[in-house]
Structure 1
């Protein structure tokens, strides 16, 4: 299992690096415009007041006169998760299906270890890679604050890392489950993208009206509160716990499904 873990980490190294760099780099880039926005905050707020509430919610808009509000609007609430969710989905969907499509499944399964251990090693490697992406994202936020003269707390950064990690790991988990069921990366990733998009739409609709508020409980995005985490250093333990539970269930289901498959 250790050998498989090292190989899987090696295979993921450059993909994880570039997505980590892309997510953190985007955050750094947009943060450089914060001083300008802060100076013209009255004009920006007046302009945004003319937009529909639903549109502002969809793009993650909040008060951009504060550093955390600006960074949430321009990166953390929508654009950073889009960038890194692509990596989590594609990598998760490739866990088993890639071996099948590349014709290397027999070589992979010839390793003297049970199927579930082989898959667990690849899942562990992916989790490590995703945590590396999260660390890069958190460091990008810290560096952004330094560059523009803002202040963020250590507890805020830790809470931010927690919600980022839970978000990416649950996406990778259900993508991996789909990969263990289907033998096609296209099918697995397509369904996974659809689940993520549907979850976002449900969360968005739930936030538009009190009548639909309960819908937010059906979405993984309810636990993804990066701006609040950064501002207050706190997390919604219940929502985050549910997401973690979903992750664990998907991982266990993936291992069981792959172990019981007669052929791949």
Structure 2
């Protein structure tokens, strides 16, 4: 029967995915409900933002609080959705294989009639469980809350933010998965994934708007910008396609490592 491993692994991740979605949804509601009070002093806040160096504004995705789009992009999507969820995806993927290698469980799984390639693909599909749940629930929560406070956000561009961020999160997953297969200890792969994603985010942030901006091109965060989508209504399809290609390359790299290593 096909995708048995995917179903088994996905069921194990459902509870955690629901818990994570509940926490992020509650935070999103809180952020959006704060906006009416922020809007009253948005002119002063925007003036303060404009006083920041351009590199800081670009790096942190802070452009304007005078609109609900700019506020939500900066306070919710730029930090929570891009950075923290990216760290979570790398961390989760980091334990997918290394944990099973460390506990010798993977050896027992491979003793069954299943190829390494199929096992890799099915476990990767299961890792998408939290991403699927979050992308189904969070846009509805954010959009519904903006309607309740009478500052409705454009649902088309809200969905676009989630759509273009999926390849980015797949890249984070891919980085964690490569480490998970390369190392035999779960903690090493998980912490390594977190470190790499955070350092890449930091590299993009500190070089944005400077003479060294080209260094940030190696960071996946350079190719996803919620502020640009929500505030400027600009969608860079080419960047999303590039990130998707990188994610597939990481999947292929993890397969090569998995096929060659002794577990």
Instruction: Tell me if both proteins adopt one fold, taking TM over 0.5 as the criterion.
Output: yes
Equivalent in the alignment of 2:17: 16
Question: Alignment length, in residue pairs?
Answer: 262
- The answer to whether the 8 A contact 1:205-1:215 is kept is no
Structure 1 position 232, deviation (Å): 5.1
The CA RMSD over aligned residues, in Å, is 2.1
Larger displacement relative to structure 2 (40-49 or 100-109):
40-49
Q: Give 1:26-175 correspondences, 5 Å limit.
A: 26-49=27-50, 51-175=52-176
After superposition, residues 214-253 of structure 1 pair within 5 angstroms as 214-231=214-231, 233-253=233-253
Provide, for residues 137-175 of structure 1, a one-character-per-residue CA deviation record: whole Å limited to 9, x for no partner. Answer: 322321232122123334212311112211211100111
The offset of 1:55, in angstroms, is: 4.6
In the TM superposition, residue 86 of structure 1 has moved relative to its aligned partner by 3.2
Conserved in 1, the CA contact under 8 Å of 2:178 and 2:253? yes
| Structure 2: gaps of 5 or more residues | none
Higher RCO, Cα 8 Å, sep 6+: 2
TM-score, normalization by structure 2: 0.90
Q: Please give the alpha-carbon distance, in whole angstroms, between the structure 2 residues aligned to 1:156 and 1:133.
A: 17
Contact kept? 1:77, 1:225, Cα under 8 Å: yes
Quote the offset at 1:60 in angstroms.
Answer: 3.3
For residues 234 and 135 of structure 1, do their structure 2 counterparts lie closer, same or farther at Cα, with a shift above 3 Å needed? farther
Equivalent-residue separation in structure 2 for 1:62 and 1:232 (angstroms): 10
TM-score normalised per structure 1: 0.90
State the secondary structure of the residue aligned to 1:78: helix
- After TM superposition, give the deviation of residue 105 of structure 1 in Å: 1.8
Which consecutive unaligned segments of at least 5 residues does structure 1 have? none
Q: Quick one: distance in 2 between partners of 1:129 and 1:79?
A: 15
